[in-house]
Structure 1
């Protein structure tokens, strides 16, 4: 989100700056008064993440930038909350959390066109890319990550918060070193459990969706199923349930039985197979909880 748009553009037009072709109001509480916005760290359907530096302390953070206005394609997704609902929900939840394996909330700004959530900078990249780079992880490596991730999930579930988008892309490393801690990010789909004790929205990523989420009657157990899928991906380098489109993946989730006696499983200990299979238990009542 630079302050100019290239050759022939003025960096400022009165009280506005040009950003990606949009006029951004420089209001009283403009983020640029407090932070210098730097290079892009990542982007996706949600918007983009950029590095930002606090002007008075030179501390470096990340800023998640989301447009207020939804695209026509986003509006067509059934049950999809607005960008504003997602961002405000994420910020409200992150404000309540303080855990060594959950990204830390720092600050929030908004203007006429964008929302800005300033967060702890996680410079080590996604767990997903480390899995892709190494094809699969050893059982020992996977167990080290598991301890960190499970502690984050137990902390959330104790507070009746369901993340609803647990996947390898949503765990990031604090730094580049091999033993850097991992932290859970992206709380845009997270929700607190209502008094009824269950949620009914269909959301999440197709490969990680649980049987009860497909049925639209679920609680914290959906995070544990998704965690099981992620662990399977770490150990085998592929997803347990696959298909060329979401409906085919959903069918496998509901019907496919995993064979734990294949040659592919021979390198794993019995306790590891028991652990993963108890996470991928179709019955949410008997599935392992984070506390267990």
Structure 2
């Protein structure tokens, strides 16, 4: 495994990379780091793939937007540039925000993605309606409203030794000791500007007056022609598994979709149950070759 960089304009995204063969991009979420994909990278490389996990926009000083643009539209643009740099056709694996970006990218450019594995996030298209039927998700997502405030969210996350980050990890993946994974995430989030940038993703969500944000949201109404699997931890404390009853509609996925419920796992399921998750990831990859 080696440290590399992907580039979009003047932004430079640190990444981990290993292997040779068809490219697989792995996108992390919040509050996490690209470094925590290491187990998956090694497994994919051993199976004959080129696995590359970049930092999301803002998660390193070198890829922080001078304009403060942390919209999903910008994130999809980053991903499309990465895919082009890797040959134009790639597999995609995304967790949390990485999965959200993946749903939008696959809807907008299905020809780019040979397969898509979405971890911990149900299909986005029908979430607004699902919230009316799963009110517990409104409570679980309360942190998103809190993150809209100025100053206070940064202070809460940074207090002590980033104890706010500890709180989120332990709430979202209960009954699990994250150990080094949490240390890795906190090391990344402690870098200059990273927490502000990470919160910028949430603050961009509701800026519907911006043309790019409205355009990205319009992609939600499009069919997903990329073969897709959704992996959800049964103990997820961030996104209620009950949402799947109202968001997973097979006709929204013309390329096919499978659901995998992962026992004894919460929101960070790929770190909690790596062997189980890797088996699912490789099964889809092996069944959806890019050639």
Same fold (TM over 0.5): no
* Bigger Rg over Cα: 1
Which of the five TM-score ranges fits, normalised by the shorter chain? under 0.3
- Give the number of the structure whose residues are more often helix, by fraction: 2
Per the normalisation by structure 2, the TM-score is 0.26
